[in-house]
Structure 1
Amino acid sequence: MLSLKLPPLATIDQVPEVFQERGILFGYRQPQSTAAACLLSLFQMTNETLNIWTHLLPFWFFTWRFVAELAGTDVWNDSYSWPLLVYMATSCVYPLASSCAHTFSSMSTNARHICYFLDYGAVNLFSLGSAIAYSAYVFPDALMCSTFHNSYVALAVLNTSLSTGLSCYSRFLEVQRPRLSKMIRLLAFAYPYAWDSLPIFYRLFLLPEDGVQSEATLYHQKQTALTLLATFFYSAHLPECLAPGHFDYIGHSHQLFHVCVVMATHMQMEAILLDKATRRDGLLAAAPLLTLPQLAGALLLCLLLSLTNILYFSAALYRTPRPGPPPHAKDS
Structure 2
Amino acid sequence: MSIVSLSPPSLPAPLVTVLHQLLPSEAFVLSGYRPVGLPWRCYVLSLFQIHNDSVKVWCPLLAALYVATRLLLFVVLQGGVMCCLWCCSAAALLLHPRSEPVRLSLFLLDSAGRGLHQFGRALALSVYSSDADWTDSIMGQLYLPAAAVLSWLSCTAGCCGELFPRHCDLSHRRLLQMGPMSLAFLLDISPVAQRLYSCPWSSILHFVLQVVLFLTAAFFLLCPVPECLSPGRFDIAGHSGQLSLVLLTLSTVSQQEALLRDFSWRRAGVVRRFGEEYLLKACAGFIAVTLSLPATALVLLTRQPKT
TM over 0.5: yes
Task: State the identity %.
Answer: 24
The equivalent residue for 2:28 is: 23
Cα 1:23–1:12 shift into 2, 3 Å? farther
| Distance of 1:11 and 1:224 partners within structure 2 | 42
Match of 1:77 in 2: none
Distance 1:285 1:60, change over 3 A: same
> CA-atom RMSD, angstroms?
2.2
Q: Is the 8 A contact 1:41 1:103 kept in 2?
A: yes
Identify unmatched segments of 5+ residues in structure 2. Answer: none
Which amino acid in structure 2 is aligned with residue 31 of structure 1?
A: V
Question: Could you say what secondary structure the match of 1:249 adopts?
Answer: coil
Specify which of 100, 105, 115 is matched with residue 109 of structure 1.
100
Cα deviation for residue 176 of structure 1 reads 3.4
1:200 corresponding residue in structure 2: 192
| Equivalent of 1:242 in 200, 210, 229 | 229
Correspondence list, 1:263-302, <5 A? 263-279=250-266, 286-288=273-275, 293-302=280-289
One-letter code aligned to 1:32: G
Question: Paired residue for 1:80?
Answer: none
Q: Which amino acid aligns with 1:89?
A: G
- 1:316 corresponds to which residue? 303
Paired residues of 1:117 and 1:310 also in contact (CA < 8 A): yes
Checking the alignment, whether the CA contact within 8 Å between 1:87 and 1:132 is kept in structure 2 is no
* 2:42 corresponds to 1:37: yes
> Larger Cα Rg: Structure 1 or Structure 2?
1
Q: Does the 8 Å contact 2:174/2:221 carry over to 1?
A: no
The structure-2 alpha-carbon separation of the partners of 1:60 and 1:174, relative to structure 1 and needing over 3 Å to count, comes to: same
1:45-84 mapped onto 2 (5 Å cutoff): 45-66=50-71, 68-69=72-73, 84=75
Which of 140, 147, 152 lines up with 1:149 in the alignment? 140
TM-score computed with the length of structure 1 as normaliser: 0.82
Shift in alpha-carbon separation, 1:309–1:280, aligned structure 2, 3 A: closer
Q: Aligned to 2:194, what secondary structure does the other structure show?
A: helix
**Amino acid aligned to 1:135:** S
Q: Give the superposition deviation at 1:302.
A: 1.0
Q: How does 1:90-109 map to 2 (within 5 A)?
A: 90-109=81-100
Quick check: 295-304 or 285-294, which moved more? 285-294
Structure 1 residue 292: Cα displacement: 5.8
Deviation, 1:264, is: 1.1
User: Residues 11, 251 of structure 1: CA spacing in aligned structure 2 closer, same or farther, 3 A cutoff?
Assistant: farther
Structure-2 separation of matches of 1:308 and 1:124: 12
Taking the TM superposition and a 5 Å limit, the aligned residue runs for 1:205-224 are 207-210=197-200, 214-224=201-211
CA distance in 2, matches of 1:168, 1:26: 26
Q: CA deviation at 1:90?
A: 1.6
Q: Please, which runs of 5 or more residues in structure 1 have no aligned partner? A: 71-83, 323-332
Q: Equivalent of 1:259, from 217, 223, 246?
A: 246
Partner Cα distance (2:12, 2:192) in 1: 44
